[in-house]
Structure 1
Amino acid sequence: MEGTGEREAKGILKDLVRKSTLVGLDGWETDYGLIARKVAGKEELRKEGYPTWDLGDFKNLRSQT
């Protein structure tokens, strides 16, 4: 299963931040995160302050219930 690489994930998040300025969210409190099928380097992204999940995280949650 191919997923989102860490570099691609950072690009997506950077683009999301850039786009938020284009739609006038400057005065708003904002949070940016990523959900994808598979995310390489998600722990690093989390350390950088980006909430990041992939399907494995949701499967783990489901198995805990």
Structure 2
Amino acid sequence: MINHFEQQQGHFERILALLENIRRYEGGKINPVTSALIEEALSEATLGSENAQRVLDSTAEKAA
């Protein structure tokens, strides 16, 4: 089970990195709607990564 959440967290972290790179390299060229969508996706990916980390921490505490 831990492996699943580690993989999930890794996926969210890669999505975050990709979105941040898009924003960094295309920042001035992106229209406001696209920019807002990227910001929303960043927020969702951050929440997903944080939730996966909480599950991992909780599972580790229960195992200890």
TM-score, normalising length: structure 1 = 0.37
By percentage of residues, which structure has more helix?
Answer: 2
By percentage of residues, which structure has more strand?
Answer: 1
Greater relative contact order structure (CA < 8 Å, 6+ sep): 2
